[in-house]
Amino acid sequence: MHLQAQTLTNQLVPSVIPLKATSKSPFAHPNACRFRGVSYRALKCSVATISESAPTELRNVKPFPAEVSRTIMELSSVGTLSSLSQEGWPLGVGVRFAVDQDGTPLLSLNESLPEFSIDGRSSLHVQLEQCGLRTPQCTIQGSIGKPDNQMVLKRLHTTWKKRFGEDVKEDLLYIVAVERVLQIDDFGEVGVWVNSSDYKTASPDPLRNCAEKLVDEINTNNAEDVNRFCNIYADLNLQFTEAKLIWVDRLGFDVRIFSPQNGIFEIRIPFPREVTDEKGAKSTFNGMSQQAWEVERNFVAPDFERVKQFKMIKTIA
């Protein structure tokens, strides 16, 4: 079968199974990506292993923390800059920032803000909301200071103008020299420390600029395929009434599922191979949808390893 990738909505094989309506979505959020008016029925898979912590990565099925941090910084432009003030109190202020080619944050501060730090040590906290369901974040620790080279200063000025479309006074430009980074997948989860070298040499995800659009498009137009992905590519051993894509990257995608009896869970479904651009991601989703449809109807035998681990997000009281 020849698969095209220009329009994902028309390429993913539609489901022909009638689905029963369920109650109001537990994923409701004012800014969340939303399904179109599609109903669902309870889906069930076979044997599984439930893990309340993040699954063990045996095949590098998700980006490393350094890559995630670089992606968060590339996609964001506002954060909270914190330090100890002259009076010894911790103080945080909202700032805009850009990043240069190695992920170093570039700030534009007014004349009074640099004085709030006793010795230059500061942190920059940045969050990235994903589909209204998850908020990965990173906190950069380092020393704030002015560029020490006129050539560097001019390059940073260009970086700022490219990011915000406006000029900035060069004497107000500051950088945060990165010493280490704390990367956290979501609120309430344990973070991972990333050293400066790993952070600077990591590359942001190649799908970062199209990921949100892909997630919204698939959730809106191909909700039944997302359900099928969970049913075929994961080994869950629980009934669920809704599945929602929350993010996609070069190695795979993350899905939140709701089970009325068990709670809310997150699973990671890897791509069969790494993708590097939007066209490749659409083509891969299309191929996985076709394969899942054929396996579901016993037209072909599955030739892939099903996901057996998933993360519990919330239990049902």
pLDDT in tens, 126-149: 999 999 999 999 999 999 988 888
Q: Is the dihedral of CA 303, 244, 236, 51 positive or negative?
A: positive
pLDDT at 277: 98
pLDDT in tens, 155-212: 999 999 999 999 998 888 999 999 999 999 999 999 999 999 999 999 999 999 999 9
- Please report the domains of the chain, with CATH numbers, ordered by start residue: 8-63+209-315 (3.20.180.10), 65-201 (2.30.110.10)
Q: What angle do CA 213, 214, 215 make, to 5 degrees?
A: 90
pLDDT at 270: 97
CB 22, CB 43: distance < 8 Å: no
The arithmetic mean of pLDDT across residues 287-312, rounded, is: 94
- Residue type at 171 in one-letter notation: D
- Binning pLDDT at 50, 70 and 90, where does residue 60 land? confident
- Is residue 235 predicted with pLDDT exceeding 80? yes
pLDDT in tens, 245-278: 999 999 999 999 999 999 999 999 999 999 999 9
Q: 165 φ, ψ to 5°?
A: 70, 30
